[in-house]
Structure formats: C-alpha cells, structure tokens
C-alpha cells in the first residue's frame, strides 16, 4: 500500500474495514436469518430464498466497496487481506490489525442482528446462518467436500478481486465484478456449507449459532485462508507480473 500523504491513516482504514465488515455480516447473514423464509399472517411461508441471500451478500460487498473501498481497500474479510498480502498488494504489517478489526466488527454485526431477530415472537435461532459440514451442512456434505469447496471458491474470489483491481482492468467496475462474484459463490455453495469464504463472517454467526458450530469453525478459517494464499501466490504467474494495483473502489495504489 502506498505510503504517500494521500494514503489514509491506519485508524481511518480500520474504521472503514469495520463499517464494511459489519454491513456484510448484518446484511448478508441478516437476509438469511430474517428474510430467507418467514410465515405471514395467512401462515403461507414466503421469503427471498437462496437466490435472495446470495444477492444480499453480493450487494453488501458491492455497496461498501464503493462507499469505503477508497479508504481501506475494501477487504472486509481476513482471507482477502491475507491473499492481497501474499500477492504483494498489501503491507504485511497491517494484516493483523485488519483481521482483528474484521472479526470484531463482524461479531458486532451479528450481535445487532441477534437483538433484532430475537424480538420476534417464537424466535428460534437455529444455526443463525452459521457454516458447517457433515450434519451441520445444509445438504449434509462431508468435511472433505466442504474443505474442497471453500478452498476453491475462496481462491476464485481472490482471483476475481486481483483481476478486477489489476491496472490492466477497466477502472471503476471492480466492486460490481467482486459483488457479483460473491453472489455467484453463494449460489453455488449455500447448500454445501452455507457459504463462508470469509472467516470473520463465519466467526460472527458461529458465536450465536451454538457450540456445535463453534466446534467446526476451524474449517472456515483454514479453508478460506488456504484458498486465498493459493490465489495470491499464483495470480501473477498465471496472468503476468504487474506494477500497480487498484483498491476495489477502482483507485490506483502505488506499490513501488
């Protein structure tokens, strides 16, 4: 990341990351908890379903990438932060502050969501949109299946981010590609793992989903971080070395 005077201070960048991660968890998981399925006065079950939840997650990233991506780079995800650092698009010294901020902000987003959801009569949290494998997988997918899915999908999410923010890509459209990419990832993997590709999101919901989900949380740190590292290590090899990077709002970052 640039060390020029125009670069926002770390405190401001962390503030932007907090806003973005809070919104991702509150909006994305909130769509699953509050709107994916509900019962109306006529007792007919209606809701936005998997398609709506997938779109909601994509929209959270798209909107916050435009809103604060020019401040922090718009990671909102420890795997993204790691992948960008491995790809030499982000300073290693800032990785830990970003990850801590993302985890705390995600937990706050889940806490606010819990306060709202629990205000409904007869509220039952269930898994609270948490991620899981085996018996906790929506489709009963095995540990190995979920591990592979999360690694592959996170790697491609980072490829999308790295490609869309490459200086050779059209400027200003990165948030759209990244938001739609995340929506597609959810369409693929909600039945598999309830879709993580983001350890902060998984941690936030597992805190309210119960002990079983906390017991499986390790998977949703390990797999996304592996996938992100793979993409960070191989993007330049596959597509060619680049000298400049764009943050996901489309602003140029000088990495010299």
Separation CA 206–CA 128 (nearest Å)? 8
Q: What is the pTM (predicted TM-score) of this model?
A: 0.90
Surface-to-core class of residue 40, CB atoms within 10 Å of its CB (0-12 exposed, 13-18 middle, 19+ buried) = exposed
For the residues 150-165, what does the mean pLDDT come to?
A: 98
Q: For residue 188, is pLDDT > 60?
A: yes
Separation CA 96–CA 91 (nearest Å)? 10
Q: Give the tens place of pLDDT for each residue, 14-52.
A: 999 999 999 999 999 999 999 987 555 555 566 899 999
Separation CA 42–CA 15 (nearest Å)? 44
C-alpha dihedral (28, 149, 193, 79), degrees to nearest 10: -40
Of 238, 203, 205, the residue nearest 221 (C-alpha): 203
Q: For residue 2, is pLDDT > 70?
A: no
CATH number attached to the domain at 10-254: 1.20.1080.10
Residue spans of the domains in the chain: they are 10-254
Q: Give the tens place of pLDDT for each residue, 121-151.
A: 888 878 999 999 999 999 999 999 999 999 9
């Amino acid at each position: 990341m640039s060390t020029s005077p125009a670069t926002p201070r770390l405190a401001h960048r962390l503030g932007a990351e907090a806003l973005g991660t809070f919104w991702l968890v509150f909006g994305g998981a909130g769509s699953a908890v509050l709107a994916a399925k509900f019962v109306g006065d006529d007792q007919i079950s209606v809701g936005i379903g998997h398609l709506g939840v997938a779109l909601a997650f994509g929209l959270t990233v798209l909107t916050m990438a435009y809103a604060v991506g020019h401040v922090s780079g718009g990671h909102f995800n420890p795997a993204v932060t790691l992948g960008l650092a491995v790809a030499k698009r982000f300073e290693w010294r800032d990785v830990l502050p970003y990850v801590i901020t993302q985890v705390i902000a995600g937990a706050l987003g889940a806490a606010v969501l819990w306060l709202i959801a629990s205000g409904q009569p007869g509220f039952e949290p269930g898994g609270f949109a948490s991620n899981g494998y085996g018996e906790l997988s929506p489709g009963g997918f095995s540990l190995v299946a979920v591990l592979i899915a999360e690694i592959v999908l996170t790697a491609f999410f980072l490829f999308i981010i790295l490609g869309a923010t490459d200086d050779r890509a059209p400027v200003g459209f990165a948030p759209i590609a990244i938001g739609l990419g995340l929506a597609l990832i959810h369409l693929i993997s909600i039945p598999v793992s309830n879709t993580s590709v983001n350890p902060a999101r998984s941690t936030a919901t597992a805190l309210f989903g119960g002990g079983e989900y906390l017991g499986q949380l390790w998977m949703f740190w390990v797999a996304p971080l592996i996938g992100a590292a793979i993409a960070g290590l191989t993007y330049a090899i596959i597509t060619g070395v680049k000298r400049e990077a764009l943050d996901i709002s489309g602003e140029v970052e000088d990495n010299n």
